[in-house]
Structure 1
Amino acid sequence: MSRSGFASKSYHTRGLVLRTHKLGEADRIITLLTPNGIVRAVAKGVRRTSSRMGATLEPFMEVNALLVMGRNLDIVSQAQLRNPYGQLLVMDYPSYTVANAMSEIAERLLETDSDSTLQQYQLFHGAIALLSKQRVDSGAVLDSYILRALSVAGWAPSFTNCVRCGKPGPHQALHVQLGGVVCPECRPSGSLSPHPITIEYLQALLEGDWSTVAQAGPRARKQAADIVANYLQWHLERAVNSLRLVERN
């Protein structure tokens, strides 16, 4: 996060706690996703039972924070709870593991994409809020988030028109490295042949069409999850470790 816009040594921001690390005997380092990017700050004394901020600065809580600029890390001076998403997610293990995977992905994307921080924040916030309601399959929320986050970062896939020539679909082949479906004339070697319903499901995930997503069967969900994971790894150029812990229905 750029600090050049702050005239004083302290500043207010809203944000979502991505993760925390212990520091010393009573402190924590808080990684916060804000509308202006990633902030890492020290929350002093929050591991003491008497701390008022301890429960507020837990993973996936949305907060209003007052931070003081530091030489290496900022310092959390105050934190007020906006939405207790973390309290809801911690009660459902599949949802909690998905939230952790999304956090890792958000950090990775913002390491290389500083031009769309507000959009990435809004997208992550919406996905966490939806996940906490537990009305949509957690795996579907994850896959939708990945596709949309990659789109915001400039890697939008196409599941309707051929990614090479633009010919309208539907098309039966898909090439992960090219970023979507390909027509018979453009189909390169190594292309996949997913079930047509899987391709429709991928498009529904990309659009956030939850009524269509809810109708998909286990085969389409499994095929789509593998395609999405491969597409993510292709662009990040490394695996997302927390994806291995995600439980799929």
Structure 2
Amino acid sequence: MPRATSFASKFYRDTGLVLRTYPLGEADRIVVLLTREHGQVRAVAKGIRRTASKFGSRLEPFNVSDLQLVHGRNLDIVSQAVGRKGWATPIAADYAKFTAAAAVVEAAEKITEDDDAESGQHYLLVAGALSAMARGLHDPAAILDSYLMRAISVAGWAPSFTVCARCGEPGPHRSFSAELGGVVCANCRPPGALAPDASTLEYLETLLHGNWEHVDAAPARVARAASAIVAGYVQFHLERTVRALALVERN
């Protein structure tokens, strides 16, 4: 009886969004999941590469499933997967959507690697971004940038746009430093700080707060300038490169 209880305790259930997969042996794959309650999980999907796999396409990137998993010594094991939402097909059919979505899941994997505390928020941010891309609600690159701003803020690196990130002097300020965490005043401006125009800084703030009416109406020049700042800011604080960002199609 104690053995049965111990075995049962190894099982757990959660909803998971597939960020990435890679081969393991001849028939298996390791699936990188972002779950609602357990943060980032790496698990083995046994036999998934076989034609008659019970998992089908449910454990492909950009899809969401209700999962039953088993705790393992090094990697967990996916024992059941019931598909809930599938965004892979509409995303893969459009290059702009696909490249932006690839950047979302790559960034999400890096951002959530050591952060389980806010797993629910991170899950909702990624799911919301992929859903919006799949449905074509906004420009995919803008959805990506908004996701990045929100996710990096949830992770603890929220940029300041209203006061100097170093001394707290109220703005408006016209310099931006990724190292110091946002806009900076003239006295605190470090060498190499950026000097974006007011419209770009305003656009960055609307990305963070999801003011889509303003985002959708912004000139392409402003959106491109903001994208470069977002990419630099996120990668500086992650201390890692998000390689898919270089492939994103911009208007």
- TM-score (norm. length: structure 2): 0.90
Residue aligning to 1:31: 32
> 205, 212, 216: which is aligned to 1:210?
212
- Which amino acid in structure 2 is aligned with residue 216 of structure 1? A
CA-CA distance at 1:188 after TM superposition: 3.2
- Using the alignment, how far apart are the partners of 1:13 and 1:138 within structure 2? 28
Is the 2:40–2:116 Cα contact (8 Å) retained in structure 1? no
Task: Note if 1:247 corresponds to 2:249.
Answer: yes
Change (3 A) 1:7 1:165: farther
Percentage of matched positions with identical amino acids: 54
Alignment of 1:43-122 (within 5 A): 43-122=45-124
> For 2:156, what is the secondary structure of its paired residue?
coil
Which consecutive unaligned segments of at least 5 residues does structure 2 have?
1-6
Range that drifts further, 114-123 or 26-35: 114-123
Residue aligning to 1:11: 12
Which consecutive unaligned segments of at least 5 residues does structure 1 have?
1-5
> For 1:78, what is the secondary structure of its paired residue?
strand
Change (3 A) 1:52 1:173: same
Any idea what the Cα deviations from partners look like across 1:207-243, whole Å, max 9, x if unmatched?
Answer: 0111100111121111111111111121111211221
Is the 1:48–1:54 Cα contact (8 Å) retained in structure 2? no
Residue aligning to 2:182: 180
- Which amino acid in structure 1 is aligned with residue 117 of structure 2? D
Is the 2:122–2:154 Cα contact (8 Å) retained in structure 1? yes
CA-CA distance at 1:7 after TM superposition: 6.2
Any idea what the Cα deviations from partners look like across 1:9-68, whole Å, max 9, x if unmatched?
Answer: 222110101111122332222111102111111212222222231211111101001112
Residue aligning to 1:3: none
Is the 2:164–2:183 Cα contact (8 Å) retained in structure 1? yes
CA-CA distance at 1:199 after TM superposition: 0.6
- Which amino acid in structure 1 is aligned with residue 242 of structure 2? V
CA-CA distance at 1:76 after TM superposition: 1.5
Residue aligning to 2:3: none
Give the RMSD, CA atoms, in angstroms: 1.8
- Which amino acid in structure 2 is aligned with residue 200 of structure 1? E
Residue aligning to 1:141: 143
Is the 2:39–2:115 Cα contact (8 Å) retained in structure 1? no
Residue aligning to 1:223: 225
Task: Note if 1:150 corresponds to 2:133.
Answer: no
Query: What number of residue pairs does the alignment pair up?
Result: 244
- TM-score (norm. length: structure 1): 0.91
Is the 1:113–1:153 Cα contact (8 Å) retained in structure 2? yes
CA-CA distance at 1:154 after TM superposition: 0.8
- Using the alignment, how far apart are the partners of 1:7 and 1:195 within structure 2? 59
> For 1:63, what is the secondary structure of its paired residue?
strand
- Using the alignment, how far apart are the partners of 2:155 and 2:223 within structure 1? 24
> For 1:15, what is the secondary structure of its paired residue?
strand
Residue aligning to 1:200: 202
Range that drifts further, 103-112 or 181-190: 181-190
Task: Note if 1:131 corresponds to 2:130.
Answer: no
> For 1:235, what is the secondary structure of its paired residue?
helix
